[in-house]
């Protein structure tokens, strides 16, 4: 395995992860680095950054999938962008092992490393979960979920068997945090609109189920707001089960801890996240949840103090919350923190590169939270101010439309929303995305026409 060294004879800043934190950190570095001062290298399995807060709206058909992603090369002019997965980090010798998809792994050296690998779905060892469920952490999952749900509507519209129709139109969502509630509400809104277009289906044919292990939903909002969310979902005909676990979903037969059992063709898992597993294959310090331990200035630290040359923030790091509001004393893993940690990390790394010893401390008191729950429906909490309905929905769209990186994507998203409001949501599914060669293979293998 070859070790690729920095041929430009200047320090390499290696950013592991091209998500929100990695992209914005790289942009800030490129903007402020002097000519020839350092090489910025970004490594990610995908050539784009995904704006995760928009995944529910992509799944619900309110945003075009490509508008929720930001291409890395186009927006990181002057940086090296490497498309591949980091499989091992050896900070003692300052190199990583990178595995491009379908190609041979190689090693890449660095002088400074920024850990911005984000988080992945935290799945539990539930029988059938890995085989039958889908998460909602990637743009591909959002697109697949949208088309799967709409295709099930088309298929159910032709079904004469009541049991098969019930299975096709039963949608189970596990996890009542922000991501889970938004995904459930957006898809329910889309499905109701889809039912109205199909004469053989009625709302009574559709069942949505939310399974949440805790006694409440949305821990980020107050008790009153959380109770309103549950009441609102139930008013839309959604079955909400609190203090309930999914115990088994083998062969799409869902067994709940409350004793209920039913079949469902769609099972969506949104029950939390965990730090990216790439950190396990490293010699960097991790806490008991697999996150890199860092100081408030975002330098990695272990029991002996600062780990020189290593920086981390975002979902894969245990960033101290100096406001005292964060659970366990740490910042919650969300975009609101990532977008603000990135410039602090970049400024501190530049200061270190230039031999300075004074670093900024990351401090941010949460502005509040906003969530969309389908067209014209939302919930928000700004301090003690609680809003519901169209105003909260508009705040959600305004905030995230502003927060998605690059002017290009902001314009596309707002135009997309505007067109949908005027022309209506596009409810056309795309078939056979997972087997795009299906029709060609069938045509190639078909029998030739008989000779006359």
Instruction: State the Cα–Cα distance between residues 73 and 239, nearest whole angstrom.
Output: 44
- Judged by DSSP in three states, 81 sits in strand
Instruction: State the Cα–Cα distance between residues 365 and 99, nearest whole angstrom.
Output: 39
pLDDT of residue 8 exceeding 80: no
pLDDT of residue 53 exceeding 80: yes
Domains of the chain and CATH, by start:
10-44+83-119+272-352 (3.50.50.60), 132-270+370-421 (3.50.50.100)
Q: Quick check: 17 and 313 in contact, CB under 8 A? A: no
- If pLDDT is split at 50, 70 and 90, which confidence band does 390 have? very high
Long-range CB pairs of 320-328 (<8 Å, 24+ gap) are: 320/294, 320/295, 320/296, 320/362, 322/296, 322/361, 322/362, 322/363, 323/363, 323/364, 323/365, 323/366, 325/365, 325/366
185: nearest Cα among 389, 332, 20, 401: 389
- If pLDDT is split at 50, 70 and 90, which confidence band does 3 have? low
Q: Strands, E, within 47-111: which ranges?
A: 48-50, 69-71, 80-83, 85-90, 95-99, 106-109
Give the contacts of 98 (CB within 8 A, at least 6 positions apart). Answer: 43, 82, 84, 85, 86, 87, 105, 106, 107, 108
Instruction: For residue range 60-92, list pLDDT tens digits in order.
Output: 999 999 999 999 999 999 999 999 999 999 999
Instruction: State the Cα–Cα distance between residues 266 and 130, nearest whole angstrom.
Output: 13
- How confident is the model at residue 249, as a pLDDT? 98
pLDDT of residue 336 exceeding 60: yes
Instruction: For residue range 28-38, list pLDDT tens digits in order.
Output: 999 999 999 99
- How confident is the model at residue 5, as a pLDDT? 61
- pTM attached to this predicted model: 0.93
pLDDT of residue 147 exceeding 60: yes
The average pLDDT across 379-385 equals 91
pLDDT of residue 7 exceeding 60: no
pLDDT of residue 1 exceeding 80: no
Instruction: State the Cα–Cα distance between residues 245 and 258, nearest whole angstrom.
Output: 8
Beta bridge partners of 81: 42
Helix and strand numbers (H, E) in the chain are: 12, 26
Give the contacts of 149 (CB within 8 A, at least 6 positions apart). Answer: 59, 171, 187, 190, 191, 266
In terms of pLDDT, which residue wins out, 191 or 335?
Answer: 191
Q: How many residues does the chain have?
A: 452
- How confident is the model at residue 272, as a pLDDT? 84
Instruction: For residue range 89-137, list pLDDT tens digits in order.
Output: 999 999 999 999 889 999 999 999 999 999 999 999 999 999 999 999 9
Report DSSP letters for 149-213, one per residue. Answer: HHHHHHHHTT---HHHHHHHTEEEEE--SHHHHHHHHHHHHHHHHHHHT-TT--GGG-EEEEE-S
373: nearest Cα among 238, 268, 172, 261: 238
Instruction: State the Cα–Cα distance between residues 175 and 63, nearest whole angstrom.
Output: 23
- How confident is the model at residue 434, as a pLDDT? 82
Instruction: State the Cα–Cα distance between residues 163 and 181, nearest whole angstrom.
Output: 27
- If pLDDT is split at 50, 70 and 90, which confidence band does 450 have? confident
- How confident is the model at residue 412, as a pLDDT? 96
Name the DSSP class of 362. Answer: P
76: nearest Cα among 27, 21, 125, 119: 27
pLDDT of residue 46 exceeding 80: yes
């Amino acid at each position: 395995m070859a070790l690729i060294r920095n041929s430009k004879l200047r320090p390499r800043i290696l950013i592991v992860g091209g998500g929100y934190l990695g992209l914005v950190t790289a942009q800030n570095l490129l903007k402020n680095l002097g000519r020839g001062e350092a090489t910025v290298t970004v490594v990610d399995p995908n050539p784009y950054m995904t704006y995760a807060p928009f995944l529910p709206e992509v799944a619900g058909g309110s945003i075009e999938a490509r508008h929720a992603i930001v291409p890395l090369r186009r927006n990181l002019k002057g940086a090296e962008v490497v498309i591949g997965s980091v499989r091992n980090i050896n900070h003692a010798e300052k190199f990583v092992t990178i595995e491009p998809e379908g190609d041979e792994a190689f090693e890449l050296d660095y002088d400074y490393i920024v850990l911005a690998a984000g988080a992945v779905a935290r799945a539990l060892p539930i029988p059938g979960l890995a085989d039958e469920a889908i998460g909602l952490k990637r743009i591909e999952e959002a697109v697949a979920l949208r088309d799967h749900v709409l295709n099930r509507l088309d298929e159910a519209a032709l079904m004469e068997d009541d049991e098969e129709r019930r299975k096709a139109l039963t949608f189970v969502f596990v996890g009542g945090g922000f991501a889970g509630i938004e995904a459930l509400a957006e898809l329910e809104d889309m499905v109701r609109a889809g039912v109205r277009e199909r004469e053989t289906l009625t709302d009574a044919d559709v069942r949505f189920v939310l399974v949440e292990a805790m006694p409440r939903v949305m821990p980020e909002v107050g008790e009153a707001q959380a109770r309103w969310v549950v009441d609102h979902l139930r008013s839309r005909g959604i079955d909400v089960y609190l203090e309930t676990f999914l115990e088994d979903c083998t062969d799409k037969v869902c067994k709940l801890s409350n004793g209920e059992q039913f079949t469902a063709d769609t099972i969506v898992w949104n029950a939390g996240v965990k730090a990216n597993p790439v950190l396990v294959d490293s010699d960097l310090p991790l806490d008991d949840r697999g996150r890199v331990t860092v100081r408030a200035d975002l330098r990695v630290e272990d029991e002996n103090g600062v780990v020189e040359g290593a920086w981390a923030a975002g979902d894969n790091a245990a960033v101290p919350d100096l406001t005292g509001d964060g659970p366990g004393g740490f910042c919650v893993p969300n975009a609101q923190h990532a977008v603000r940690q990135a410039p602090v990390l970049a400024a501190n790394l530049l200061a270190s590169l230039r031999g300075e010893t004074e670093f900024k401390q990351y401090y941010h008191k949460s502005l509040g939270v906003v969530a969309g729950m389908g067209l014209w429906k939302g919930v928000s909490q700004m301090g003690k101010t609680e809003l519901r309905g169209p105003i909260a929905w508009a705040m959600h769209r305004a905030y995230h439309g502003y927060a998605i990186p690059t002017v290009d994507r902001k314009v596309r998203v707002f135009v997309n929303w505007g067109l949908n409001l005027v022309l209506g949501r596009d409810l056309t599914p795309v078939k056979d995305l997972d087997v795009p060669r299906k029709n060609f293979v069938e045509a190639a293998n078909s029998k030739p026409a008989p000779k006359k």
